[in-house]
Every structure is written in C-alpha cells, then in structure tokens.
Amino acid sequence: MPLSRMPVVRQYLTAAAASLHAEAMESGGQLPANAERVAHLVDDALREANREAPVDVREPPPEDW
C-alpha cells in the first residue's frame, strides 16, 4: 500500500493558513488584495484536502487485459 502524502500537504496548507491569519491580525484584520486571494486559495485547498475521498466503484480490469 503506497504511503499517502496528504498528511504532509495538509500540514503545509495549515501552516500557510496560520501564517496568513497571523499576518491579517498584525495588519488590523485586512490583508493586501493579493494575499487575500492566496488566503482564499489556501482555504479552498484545505477544504478539498479534508473532504472524504470518493469510493472507487470501478470494477477490476478484465483478466486478459
């Protein structure tokens, strides 16, 4: 079974989100527009990473494949 890199990806995304949040708090709750866009992308990526993986409903390939 291959090891998943998702825990590492989540860790990096969480660190980026925490850093952006800290930056916003230091600047009175408002980030520059480009950092605000990055914050939204990080939030979206974290939501996607935390979603349950869909179940693979494909059948196994034919034996003569």
**Domain limits for position 11:** 6-50
- 27 in any annotated domain: yes
Comparing CA positions, the residue from 15, 23, 25 lying closest to residue 45 is 15
pLDDT per position as a tens digit, 27-55? 888 888 998 999 999 999 999 888 876 66
Domain count, the chain: 1
- 43 in any annotated domain: yes
Assign 15 a pLDDT band (cuts: 50, 70, 90): very high
Q: What's the pTM value of the predicted model, to 2 decimals?
A: 0.67
Could you tell me if 49 and 9 are in contact, meaning their C-beta atoms sit under 8 angstroms apart?
yes
pLDDT of the residue at 1: 43
Assign 56 a pLDDT band (cuts: 50, 70, 90): low
- 60 in any annotated domain: no
Tell me the backbone φ, ψ of residue 30, rounded to 5 degrees: -125, 125
Cα–Cα distance, 55 to 19 (Å, whole number): 34
